[in-house]
A and B are shown apart, each in its own frame.
Chain A
Amino acid sequence: ETGVTQTPRHLVMGMTNKKSLKCEQHLGHNAMYWYKQSAKKPLELMFVYSLEERVENNSVPSRFSPECPNSSHLFLHLHTLQPEDSALYLCASSPQTGDPEQFFGPGTRLTVL
């Protein structure tokens, strides 16, 4: 138990659906991250937020839209995804961006049909 929770843990959606992934931390951290982990590929950093401002966007398609309403919550809004977007989506937080220890949530296993 890292103090970072993610909901839902599993999600199946069609290509025309809109859904959102939620991440929550009450560790008092100022930085939050979204990562994608596809089968047999390394973790890929998608987005970084520091004090609710996006500081990094790693060329992620616009069908993924992050939102950070406050420093405890992070969302990933999904719209018209493709089957190749099926993956484990992981949220993490750290006290500041650049801290050596990031605390990861358990992830959301997403399947796009």
Chain B
Amino acid sequence: DAKTTQPPSMDCAEGRAANLPCNHSTISGNEYVYWYRQIHSQGPQYIIHGLKNNETNEMASLIITEDRKSSTLILPHATLRDTAVYYCIVRVFNFGNEKLTFGTGTRLTIIP
């Protein structure tokens, strides 16, 4: 699975959009980008995933560059409850590939 690079920490003002970057320059054509987050003392929570098109759900938007070497997770109106560690994971999506390899992620702090 391709390696990802994320900034260790970021701050964002409450109510503003939080934009979390992820570099995955060695991504291959059949690898998807997944985002999870982990709020303190809880298990990780799936947010969104995508291959090449931008994706949006009720939690967030995922913007993937055309060359797929980087992506941005956007939380459109951040709240204090969005304070968490956000993990960007790249891996092949196939049944039988069980592994989610979590890195160190980005610690996002929402400032009141």
| Chain A residues within CB distance 8 Å of chain B | 2, 4, 31, 33, 42-43, 45, 48, 50, 55-56, 90-92, 96-107, 109
Contacts and interface: CB of A to CB of B under 8 A. Distances in A.
B95 A2 contact: no
SS of B interface (majority): loop
Nearest to B42: A106
Most buried by A among B44, B49, B96, B99: B44
Given A42-B102, A43-B102, A45-B99, A102 B46 contact: yes
Given A98-B96, A102-B100, A92 B32 contact: no
Interface residues of B, number: 22
Interface string B88-106: 0000011111111111110
10 contacts: A31-B98, A45-B99, A48-B98, A56-B98, A98-B95, A99-B95, A102-B46, A104-B44, A106-B43, A109-B41
Nearest to B49: A100
Contacts of A2: 43, 45
Contacts of B94: 98
Contacts of B100: 43, 45, 102
A90 B34 contact: no
B99 A100 contact: no
A41 to B, nearest CB: 8
Given A90-B43, A97-B98, A100-B32, 5 more contacts: A31-B98, A42-B101, A56-B98, A97-B95, A100-B46
Contact of A101 (B46, B96, B97, B102): B46
B102 A104 contact: no
